Amino acid sequence: MSVAEAGVTRKAVERTTRGQQVRELGFRAALLFSLSFGFLALAVLLIDVLLDGASLISYDFLAKFPSQIFPERSGISSSLQGTLYLMVLTAVFIVPVGLATAVYLEEYADRERWWNQLVEVNIQNLAAVPSIVYGILGLTFIVRGALDLGAVLLAGALTLGLLVLPVVIVVSREAIRAVPSSIREGSMALGATQWQTIWKQTLPGALPGIATGVILALSRAIGETAPLILVGAIAFVPFNPDPNPAEGQYSAIPITILSSVSNPDRDVQALASGAIIVLLAILLVMNAGAVYLRNRYEQKW
Amino acid sequence: MAKASLTTAGHGPDLNRRRTTRSVGENAIRALLALAAVVSVVTTTGIVIALARDTIEFFKEVGVGDYLFGTDWAPLAGGGQQSFGVVPLVYDTLYLTAVGLLLAVPLGLGSAIYLSEYASARARRLLKPALEVLAGIPTIVFGFFALTFVGPEVLKTVLKVEVGTFSALSAGLVLGILVLPTIATVADDALSAVPTSLREGAFGLGASRMQVSLRVVFPAALSGIVAALVLGASRAIGETVIILVAGGAVANLTGDPREPMQNMAAFIAQTAQADIPTQGTEYNTIFAVGTTLFVITLLLNLISIRFVRKYRQVYE
3-state secondary structure chain B: CHHHHHHHHHHCCCCCCCCCHHHHHHHHHHHHHHHHHHHHHHHHHHHHHHHHHHHHHHHHHCCHHHHHHCCCEECCCCCCCCEECCHHHHHHHHHHHHHHHHHHHHHHHHHHHHHHHHCCHHHHHHHHHHHHHHHCCCHHHHHHHHHHHHHHHHHHHHCCCCCCCCCHHHHHHHHHHHHHHHHHHHHHHHHHCCCHHHHHHHHHCCCCHHHHHHHHHHHHCHHHHHHHHHHHHHHHHHCCHHHHHHCCCCCCCCCCCCCCCCCHHHHHHHHHHCCCCCCCHHHHHHHHHHHHHHHHHHHHHHHHHHHHHHHHHHHC
Q: Which of A204, A216, A130 is nearest to A168 (CA)?
A: A216
What backbone phi and psi angles, to 5 degrees, belong to B55?
-70, -40
Q: Which of B239, B230, B298 is nearest to B268 (CA)?
A: B239
Taking the alpha carbons of A184, A188, A189, A191 in that order, is the dihedral positive or negative?
Answer: positive
Q: What is the pLDDT of residue B248?
A: 85
Write the CA distances from B105 to A42, A289, B182, B220, B226, integer angstroms. Answer: 18, 32, 10, 18, 11
Query: How many whole angstroms separate alpha carbon B294 and alpha carbon B126?
Result: 36
Q: Which of A283, A277, A282, A271 is nearest to A46 (CA)?
A: A277
The nearest alpha carbon in chain A to B210 belongs to: A24
| B-interface mutation test, from A35, A105, A123, most B Cβ less than 10 A away | A35
User: Taking phi first (over 0 means left), then psi (-120 to 50 degrees means alpha), and beta for anything else, what does residue B77 get?
Assistant: beta
Asked whether residue B172 carries a pLDDT value surpassing 80, the answer given is yes
CB A261 within 8 A of CB A225: no
Query: How many whole angstroms separate alpha carbon A142 and alpha carbon A135?
Result: 10
Question: Per residue in B128-141, pLDDT tens?
Answer: 888 888 888 999 99
Tell me whether residues B51 and A141 touch, CB distance under 8 A: no
Q: What is the pLDDT of residue A14?
A: 58
Taking the alpha carbons of B207, B208, B209, B210 in that order, is the dihedral positive or negative?
Answer: negative
CA distance B83 to chain A (A): 23
What backbone phi and psi angles, to 5 degrees, belong to A89?
-65, -40
Residue A130 is nearest to which of B50, B180, B293, comparing CB atoms?
B293
Query: How many whole angstroms separate alpha carbon B250 and alpha carbon B228?
Result: 30
Q: What is the pLDDT of residue B130?
A: 85
Please state, for a pLDDT cut of 70, what percent of chain B lies above it.
91
Q: What is the pLDDT of residue B79?
A: 67
The nearest alpha carbon in chain B to A193 belongs to: B26
Q: Residue ranges of the alpha helices (H) in A178-265? A: 181-189, 194-197, 203-223, 226-230, 253-261
B136 touching A (Cβ < 8 Å): yes
CB-facing half-sphere around the CA of A64: CA atoms within 13 A = 17
Q: What is the mean pLDDT of residues B152-172?
A: 87
Residue B315 pLDDT level (bands cut at 50, 70, 90): low
Query: How many whole angstroms separate alpha carbon A38 and alpha carbon A60?
Result: 35
Q: What is the pLDDT of residue B11?
A: 43
Give A124's contacts in chain B (Cβ within 8 Å): 301, 305
Query: How many whole angstroms separate alpha carbon A276 and alpha carbon A283?
Result: 10
Q: Which of A70, A272, A280 is nearest to B148 (CA)?
A: A272
A48 touching B (Cβ < 8 Å): yes
CA distance A87 to chain B (A): 15
CB B128 within 8 A of CB B115: yes
- Between residues B180 and A241, the one the model is more confident about: B180
Give B107's contacts in chain A (Cβ within 8 Å): 34, 37-38
Burial of B239 (0-12, 13-18, 19+ CB in 10 A): buried
- Between residues B241 and B302, the one the model is more confident about: B241
CB A142 within 8 A of CB A158: yes
Q: What is the pLDDT of residue B128?
A: 87
pTM for this one? Answer: 0.88
A170 touching B (Cβ < 8 Å): no
- Alpha carbon distance, N-terminus to C-terminus of chain A: 63
Question: Per residue in B268-307, pLDDT tens?
Answer: 999 988 877 777 888 899 999 999 999 999 998 888 888 7
A294 SS3 class:
helix
pLDDT in 10s for each residue of chain A, 301 residues: 455 555 555 665 555 677 888 888 999 999 999 999 989 998 999 998 898 888 888 887 887 787 766 766 777 888 899 999 999 999 999 999 999 999 999 999 888 888 888 898 899 889 889 999 999 999 999 988 888 888 889 999 999 999 999 999 999 999 999 999 999 999 999 999 999 999 999 999 999 889 988 998 999 999 999 999 999 887 778 788 888 888 888 889 999 999 888 887 777 788 888 899 999 999 999 988 888 887 787 776 6
Mean pLDDT score across all residues of chain B: 86
Tell me whether residues B107 and A276 touch, CB distance under 8 A: no
CB-facing half-sphere around the CA of B301: CA atoms within 13 A = 20
Q: Which of A114, A227, A223, A123 is nearest to A169 (CA)?
A: A123
CA distance B114 to chain A (A): 6
Write the CA distances from B119 to A125, B116, B127, B182, B192, integer angstroms. Answer: 33, 7, 9, 19, 12
Number of neighbours of residue A202 by Cβ within 10 angstroms: 23
Q: What is the pLDDT of residue A68?
A: 66
Q: What is the pLDDT of residue B16?
A: 53
Q: What is the pLDDT of residue A188?
A: 92
Cβ-Cβ pairs closer than 8 A, A with B, add up to: 242
Residue B1 pLDDT level (bands cut at 50, 70, 90): very low
Which amino acid type is present at position B48? Answer: V
- Please give the full DSSP string across A14-66, using - where no structure is assigned: HHHHHHHHHHHHHHHHHHHHHHHHHHHHHHHHHHHHHHHHGGG-SHHHHHSPP
Q: What is the mean pLDDT of residues B239-245?
A: 94
Q: Which of B260, B230, B235 is nearest to B142 (CA)?
A: B235
Tell me whether residues A225 and B138 touch, CB distance under 8 A: yes
Tell me whether residues B272 and A258 touch, CB distance under 8 A: no
| A-interface mutation test, from B141, B155, B289, most A Cβ less than 10 A away | B141
Write the CA distances from A192 to A176, A187, A202, B23, B271, integer angstroms. Answer: 18, 6, 12, 12, 57
In chain B, domain spans: 83-315
Which amino acid type is present at position A258? Answer: L
Q: What is the pLDDT of residue B2?
A: 40
Give B109's contacts in chain A (Cβ within 8 Å): 34
Contacts of A158 (CB under 8 A, 6+ apart): A89, A93, A138, A142, A147, A149
Asked whether residue B8 carries a pLDDT value surpassing 90, the answer given is no
Query: How many whole angstroms separate alpha carbon B209 and alpha carbon B162?
Result: 42
The residues in B 51-90 lying below 8 A from A, measured between CB atoms, are 51, 53-54
Which amino acid type is present at position A141? Answer: F
- What architecture (CATH level 2) is domain B83-315? Orthogonal Bundle (1.10)
What dihedral do alpha carbons A100, A102, A108, A110 form, nearest 10°? 140
Q: What is the pLDDT of residue A187?
A: 93
Tell me whether residues A119 and B37 touch, CB distance under 8 A: yes
Q: What is the pLDDT of residue B118?
A: 93
Write the CA distances from A93 to A6, A89, A160, integer angstroms. Answer: 77, 6, 10
CB B89 within 8 A of CB B251: yes
